[in-house]
């Protein structure tokens, strides 16, 4: 499997080489085109000059003195071109390199070529002039006519070797190749350094992930100013995920420890009572009493299992589906829950105060779930309200929310305990002793249900008064 470094490196290398190849081909094309245009322009200029010289100095195969020969030689030398002058019949009369005579003097042009020159009134092409030059050339052939009567005086052929342009192009190509290789080497070095620096945070993240996977829950990825924005975002996301998993793992461990502790006592009691009955340690006249204790402990275990199932269902659900929400009267729900606690309230002679509107207060929520919330909160308030103290239920409207408060007098919850009252299995030490039937799950279930409705719940405890308040949406 290829690494991110090798994939990126290969991709950039392909892009770079492709770019250089395209630049080289296009560059060569334009340079060749430029050199061709420049050479032909130079040949055209020289051809025009020689034609002017011939028109003024040519007279029936004779030349008007040494000045013509010098001017012809200078014109071709300056432009670095070759020129020959032929008669009207195509016989070569003079070479610019040797005006006084050369080995090509007397050469006759191909008749077909001569006809094309005359027909087209001049010809520009590339090729070989047989018997004159062995290599391919740029050639401009121009007929020379008398200015007075238009009579054909001769043919001027100006040429330049293609090899000169090819040599220039080859030299330029060599320079381009050298520069390209240098650029590729420098770019590769830079890419290796840059990509290694870019991939370093990813390697560190992978190493941290491996450490986290092997049980090091404190492993975190470093977030630095030297990293890119995307790397930092990934690092932050990883750290948030790691923190969440670490918290979940600690909660799981705490949950297992708590559930083990809570199950240990009733199961030990049940096992001891049953063994005592079976082995005769408990006499027959007392077996009924101890069997009732076994029944009580069994019911406690049943309540624990039921609470755990409720918690699991709520956690999996996360939000209450809209089809489970119905419109109902909160005043009625509060009244029904309060009536169900009538016996316990009378036993403790509590002073119950109810502050609710005279009209119905409707909300849209899961009625069974909200009933459980109210029941758990009232149950909690009744348990921890001392004999003869006050229990208060309040319902008020504010904006688009209904605020339900359940208040009881009694011992104040320590400030350090308040943030923990909604945690699973959390109990204040004194309440644990006072209420053996409490598993510390009631308030956790309350908080979970309210969260599933997207609402809020809070608790305050001061001046020997504890108040739980939660919100629900109002329905007009």
Indicate whether 214 belongs to any domain.
no
The CATH number for 265's domain is: 1.10.287.130
pLDDT the model gives residue 468 = 94
Indicate whether 36 belongs to any domain.
yes
Indicate whether 247 belongs to any domain.
yes
Q: What is the pLDDT of residues 440-458, one digit of tens each?
A: 677 888 888 888 888 999 9
Longest dimension (CA), the chain: 161
Are 285 and 414 in a shared domain?
A: no
Give this prediction's pTM. Answer: 0.46
Are 305 and 367 in a shared domain?
A: no
Are 53 and 147 in a shared domain?
A: yes
Mark which of 167, 197, 214 sits at the end of a domain: 167
Can you tell me the distance from the alpha carbon of 144 to that of 461, in angstroms, rounded to the nearest whole number?
119
Indicate whether 185 belongs to any domain.
no
Are 25 and 161 in a shared domain?
A: yes
Q: Which residue has the higher pLDDT, 148 or 5?
A: 148
Are 362 and 246 in a shared domain?
A: no
Are 251 and 277 in a shared domain?
A: yes
Indicate whether 212 belongs to any domain.
no
From residue 128, give the alpha-carbon distance in Å to each of 105, 136, 139, 320, 365. 18, 5, 9, 93, 99
pLDDT the model gives residue 405 = 94
Are 338 and 302 in a shared domain?
A: no
Confidence label for 61 from pLDDT (cuts 50, 70 and 90): very low
Can you tell me the distance from the alpha carbon of 37 to that of 138, in angstroms, rounded to the nearest whole number?
11
Residue 324 has pLDDT above 70, yes or no: yes
Q: How many domains does the chain have?
A: 3
The overall average pLDDT reported for the chain is: 81
Indicate whether 466 belongs to any domain.
yes
Mark which of 298, 317, 336 sits at the end of a domain: 317
Domain that holds residue 395: 322-473
Indicate whether 340 belongs to any domain.
yes
Indicate whether 43 belongs to any domain.
yes
Confidence label for 439 from pLDDT (cuts 50, 70 and 90): very low
Are 20 and 61 in a shared domain?
A: yes
Are 257 and 372 in a shared domain?
A: no
Are 398 and 456 in a shared domain?
A: yes
The CATH number for 391's domain is: 3.30.565.10
Q: What is the pLDDT of residues 210-267, one digit of tens each?
A: 887 787 878 887 776 666 677 778 888 888 888 888 877 776 776 676 667 667 767 8
pLDDT the model gives residue 242 = 83
């Amino acid at each position: 499997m290829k690494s991110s470094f090798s994939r990126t490196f290969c991709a950039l290398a392909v892009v770079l080489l492709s770019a250089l190849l395209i630049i080289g081909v296009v560059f060569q094309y334009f340079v060749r085109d430029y050199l061709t245009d420049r050479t032909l322009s130079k040949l055209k200029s020289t051809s025009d000059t020689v034609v002017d010289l011939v028109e003024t100095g040519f007279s029936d195969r004779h030349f008007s003195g040494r000045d013509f020969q010098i001017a012809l030689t200078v014109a071709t030398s300056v432009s670095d071109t070759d020129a020959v002058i032929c008669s009207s019949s195509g016989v070569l009369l003079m070479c610019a390199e040797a005006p006084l005579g050369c080995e090509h003097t007397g050469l006759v042009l191909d008749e077909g070529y001569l006809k094309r020159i005359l027909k087209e009134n001049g010809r520009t092409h590339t090729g070989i002039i047989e018997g004159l030059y062995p290599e391919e050339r740029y050639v401009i052939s121009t007929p020379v006519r008398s200015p007075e009567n238009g009579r054909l005086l001769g043919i001027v052929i100006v040429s330049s070797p293609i090899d000169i342009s090819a040599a220039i192009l080859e030299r330029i190509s060599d320079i381009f190749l050298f520069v390209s290789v240098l650029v590729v080497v420098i770019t590769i070095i830079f890419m290796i350094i840059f990509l290694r620096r870019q991939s370093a945070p990813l390697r560190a993240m992978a190493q941290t992930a491996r450490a986290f996977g092997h049980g090091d829950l404190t492993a975190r990825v470093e977030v630095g100013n030297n990293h890119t924005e995307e790397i930092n975002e990934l690092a932050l996301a990883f750290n948030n995920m790691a923190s969440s998993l670490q918290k979940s793992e600690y909660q799981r461990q705490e949950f297992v420890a708590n559930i083990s502790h809570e199950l240990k006592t009733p199961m030990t009691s049940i096992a001891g009572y049953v063994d005592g009955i079976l082995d005769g340690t408990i006499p027959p006249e007392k077996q009924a009493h101890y069997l009732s204790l076994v029944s009580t402990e069994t019911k406690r275990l049943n309540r624990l299992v039921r609470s755990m199932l409720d918690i699991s269902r709520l956690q999996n659900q996360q939000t209450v589906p809209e089809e489970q929400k119905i419109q109902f009267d909160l005043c009625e729900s509060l009244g029904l829950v309060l009536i169900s606690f009538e016996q316990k309230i009378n036993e403790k002679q509590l002073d119950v105060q109810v502050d609710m509107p005279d009209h119905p207060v409707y909300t849209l929520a899961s009625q069974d779930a909200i009933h459980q919330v109210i029941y758990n909160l009232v149950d909690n308030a009744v348990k921890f309200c001392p004999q003869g103290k006050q229990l208060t239920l309040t319902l008020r409207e504010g904006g688009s929310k209904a605020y339900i408060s359940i208040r009881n007098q009694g011992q104040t919850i320590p400030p350090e305990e308040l943030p923990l009252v909604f945690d699973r299995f959390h109990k204040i030490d004194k309440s644990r002793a006072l209420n053996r039937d409490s598993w510390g799950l009631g308030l956790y279930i309350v908080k979970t249900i309210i969260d599933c409705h997207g609402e809020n719940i809070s608790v305050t405890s001061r001046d020997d008064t504890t108040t739980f308040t939660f919100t629900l949406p109002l329905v007009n």
